[in-house]
Structure 1
Amino acid sequence: MTNPVTKLPLREKLAYGCGDFASCLFWASFSNFLLLFYTDVFGITAAAAGLMFMLTRIWDGVNDPIMGIIADRTQTRWGKFRPWILWGCVPFGLMGVLLFTTPSLGMTGRLVWAYLTYNLMMMLYTAVNIPYTALLGVITPDPVERTRVSSIKFVFAFGAGLVIKMTLPYMIDGFGGAANPQRGWSLSFIVVAAVAVGFFLVTFFGTRERVAPPPEQKTSIGRDLKDLFRNGPWLILLGTTLTFILFISTRLTITAHYLKYFVGPQMVQLPWQDAPRLCEFKDLWAAFGVAGDAGSIVGVLGVGWFAARVGKKTAFLLLIAASAACNAVYFWLPAHAVGLIFAFQFLGNVAGGPLAVLLWAMYADTADYSEWKNGRRATGLVFSASTMSQKFGWAVCGLVAGSMLSATGFVPNIAQSPTVLRSLVLLMSLIPAALGALALVVACFYPLTDRRVGEIEAELRARRAREGATPA
């Protein structure tokens, strides 16, 4: 039963979720559309963009634990993590606009601009998102409530993806049209940035931090790192996260290219239409994203019920197996099977959407495990070192996707060769499915059952009560 002291009001859960809505307006744009923007609008090659993704995300991944260490040592009247949301949200929004702005420069100048803006954007993303993510571990000490908060967080996250995929293609077309797509992208992200800043401020003003480190804990980066790498459950989750991110990001990175060049314009008749109509790339792009995020939201809304009955670990294993199977099906789907392409997008995301919910709830459990085992707590470091593995996963998939397309002869905005089309199909199907299977194998070794987490939390609650570390 949830301790009434640690039960959060719905308004605070929703305020916390607003932060992921803000972050994911941009993260959904990066993961789904950035490669397409760079190759088809900004004007650099797929290989150059893939190399930049790898280098930037490796550097960005290194920044994550640094930011976690800084956040753990921040002392303000607002807490450790919330103030970074306030300080970083406006620079974050401004840099997001510059990232999607195409300067009037030659190829070398554009490449320099791309490296500068992408690196600075990801550093600002880290400065805001690492503290925001770590806030999940201190907003309440109750593991059941954390799972509920994590579910709401990801409803907002997938909601942001839904909004971006439904509106961005049409905003770009409305602001710039075919004649000036560069203007369309830049103006669209002024709107996106303004909305993101507003939602970040809701999170800052609407949440509280309730879990503090033990009062006698001394600051020591070396000890924090030593504790982290002695945390066996966290190490297993780290490996699971890396393979899981490779699973989802390989497909996301290439989805727009798959729809534009493999599926292409299609005559589609919806059940409520009297006759087929032509669906162009922007229509497919928006509708495919909506189908995926709608499926994710359905899955996230049901994951709390499912995990409560089978446990977080078992739920993760079953769901990732189902999601990987749905991905594999794309290898056999022809371009004209639009109905099946959309159906498996929805079903795959019903299974795949809740996976991140479960992972982040389990990371919060490993922070409790470390405090229980070592008598010390470094929540920011636990979460930031975990997001580092995500960045490395995105780095690898960006390089692989860009290099694979360039090696097979990809040239933007023309009909592609059968070799390129086969590469797109593999990157949408069997390659991510194999990575999903690998993530499943690694996750099998995770040792913290829900029963064990409950025992650890009960011991910690008694310890904190004695030491006065958790304010009501």
Structure 2
Amino acid sequence: MQAENNSGKLSVIEKVGFGLGDTASNILYQAWSFFLAIFYTDVFMLPTGIASYLFLATRVWDMVFDPTIGMIADRTHSRWGKFRPYLLWLAIPYGALAWAMFITPNWGLNARIIYAFVTYILATTAYTAINIPYSSLMAVMTPSPKERTSLSRYRFLFAFLGMLIITTFTLPLARLLGADPSHPGYNKDLGYSQALGFQMTMAIFGAIAVLLLFVTFFTTRERVLPPEGQASSFRQDLKDLSRNGPWIILFISAIFFLVHNAIRNASVLYYFDYVNGHGKDILLSAALGPMTLDFSRSTAFLTIGTFGMIAGVLLTYPLTKSFGKKPLIIFFTLASVVLEMSFYFLPPSNFVLLSSVNFAWSILAGGMPVFLFAMYSDVADYYEWKFRRRATGLVISGIMFAIKAGIAVGGFLTLKLLDIFEYVPNQPQTEGSITGIKLMFSIIPGIFALICGLVLVFYPINEEMLQNIEQDLKEGRRSRMDRIELDPVHPADSAV
């Protein structure tokens, strides 16, 4: 591994290459967020109660695996570094499992339940084994907090590109690729087989993800080295992490932020299919050679929101020149709560109004993760500065543990609330069910976002403190490199 350069400046090619890794990650993550719940209840035909425990059990395993892969990555020694190798080694299993999750075997209920558990657990394991090292990579590509904020901006610009692919093309491609009247799942009213459509669509997306992960591997480098002679101790790492106050604040906020995301994202299709009632109505058709892609109201709503999120990412650039990350993330979070809760009171039939408010909300929602993930890397530097040990993988995987906990709780609550509200798939809903879906789309996730914003008020690291940390660490690393140059017995690569 090469040592860091003095400025920490990264090329645009490296930033783009890094960002494409999150395009690959979001192909599966956004498929989970927007389509997995309704796929399991309305296509795979799992009872909502069973599906809720499937989400919970799978994510509990994922939470346990997060810190494990983080500590393993911290102790990985290879000619490619600590974190990049996982992108190379696991890209193909990741893409294959993204496809396997959305296969609907023509089996009995018990066999399908087992298949769903196995494929979901394997897919989340592959996702974690790639995403933890990938997220940790940002903290070791450059020592500069400003460059990491820029890198985070690239990351989420391309993350939302992945989201745009999923939200815009999943349903049209499923309709196109599932239009086989001979398939057992073919629905005459819909004009296609949802089971076949999802399966073929995710096969395409999985292949794209594999190629993008290879691009990220070949275009990025690791530059920030752990302190020379750092001892490797799981127990000490965990002890130090438990005393990292800023990390604890981000850990708690991440749980509430992702509970919010999981409930809100999963509720979109339920809202348009059963509250608005016209989610599957075709708004636009586009010719693709001899084929035609049909874009429904649900797809249009999701696509408009994704463009709003991309705008939010771009907006962070001028804002961070004048304001710190902490005040910005608090403002964005609390302002988004107001817009999100307003959906409960908006007329469900007014698609233009719904889409307009959603675009405004999405601008705020798109900017929030840019600040948050830059802050996650900042606390990795804080950890090294305070404890004189670097454990990037553990710091990031600990945050990812919280993220997965939020997804677990949010996914469980989504399906459990549907069960409580007496949701019945593919049928007209009762007034109580409609009210419940409206709450899940607005008030309930808004409460979790509000708590997230209030927790972040207590985050203690500001931009001035970050500059001091950066300077102290830079001087320490420069001193370490001077010692290495005087002692050729210990080359720089020995610190990998």
State the match for 1:277 in structure 2: none
SS in 2 for 1:331: coil
For residues 227-266 of structure 1, the aligned pairs below 5 Å read 227-265=240-278
Letter in 2 for 1:344: V
Shift of 1:11: 0.1
Alignment partner of 1:409 is 2:422: yes
Q: Which shows bigger deviation, 256-265 or 374-383?
A: 256-265
For residues 193-208 of structure 1, the aligned pairs below 5 Å read 193-208=206-221
Structural RMSD (CA): 1.9
Asked if the contact 1:266/1:336 (under 8 Å) is kept, the reply is: no
Report percent identity of matched pairs: 37
State the match for 2:343 in structure 1: 330
Shift of 1:266: 7.5
Alignment partner of 1:303 is 2:305: no
Shift of 1:309: 1.1
For residues 19-34 of structure 1, the aligned pairs below 5 Å read 19-34=21-36
Letter in 1 for 2:84: R
Q: 2:165 aligns with which of 159, 163, 169?
A: 163
For residues 8-407 of structure 1, the aligned pairs below 5 Å read 8-177=10-179, 178-265=191-278, 283-407=296-420
Asked if the contact 2:10/2:147 (under 8 Å) is kept, the reply is: yes
Distance 1:190 1:246 in 2: 28
Distance 2:166 2:274 in 1: 21
Shift of 1:43: 1.1
SS in 2 for 1:414: coil
Letter in 1 for 2:344: F
Asked if the contact 1:19/1:132 (under 8 Å) is kept, the reply is: yes
Distance 1:319 1:179 in 2: 41
Q: Which shows bigger deviation, 23-32 or 179-188?
A: 179-188
Shift of 1:268: 9.6
Alignment partner of 1:425 is 2:438: yes
Asked if the contact 2:279/2:298 (under 8 Å) is kept, the reply is: no
Distance 1:130 1:365 in 2: 16
Letter in 2 for 1:355: M
Letter in 1 for 2:29: W
After superposition, give the CA deviation of every residue in 1:113-137 in whole Å (9 maximum; x if it has no partner): 0000000000010111100010010
State the match for 1:276 in structure 2: none
Q: Which shows bigger deviation, 431-440 or 199-208?
A: 431-440
Letter in 2 for 1:50: S
Distance 1:411 1:243 in 2: 28
SS in 1 for 2:218: helix
Distance 2:159 2:192 in 1: 32
Scaled by the length of structure 2, the TM-score of the pair is 0.90
SS in 1 for 2:46: coil
Shift of 1:180: 2.2
After superposition, give the CA deviation of every residue in 1:445-466 in whole Å (9 maximum; x if it has no partner): 0000011001110010001000
State the match for 1:452 in structure 2: 465
Distance 1:113 1:218 in 2: 43
Q: Which runs of 5+ in 1 are unaligned?
A: 271-280
After superposition, give the CA deviation of every residue in 1:69-128 in whole Å (9 maximum; x if it has no partner): 000000000000000010001001111111000112100000000000000000010111
Distance 1:217 1:73 in 2: 11
Asked if the contact 1:161/1:289 (under 8 Å) is kept, the reply is: no
Letter in 1 for 2:96: L
After superposition, give the CA deviation of every residue in 1:373-427 in whole Å (9 maximum; x if it has no partner): 1100000111111011111111111111111111222111111111111011001
After superposition, give the CA deviation of every residue in 1:342-376 in whole Å (9 maximum; x if it has no partner): 11111111011111111111111111111111100
Distance 2:317 2:394 in 1: 26
Q: Which runs of 5+ in 2 are unaligned?
A: 180-190, 284-293, 485-491
State the match for 1:462 in structure 2: 475
Shift of 1:48: 1.3
Scaled by the length of structure 1, the TM-score of the pair is 0.95
Letter in 2 for 1:395: A
Distance 1:381 1:267 in 2: 44
Letter in 2 for 1:9: S
Distance 1:366 1:308 in 2: 21
Shift of 1:308: 2.7
Instruction: Give every structure 1 segment of 4 or more consecutive aligned residues whose post-TM-superposition deviation is greater than 4 Å.
Output: 266-270, 469-472
Distance 1:223 1:267 in 2: 54
Distance 1:463 1:266 in 2: 58
State the match for 1:275 in structure 2: none
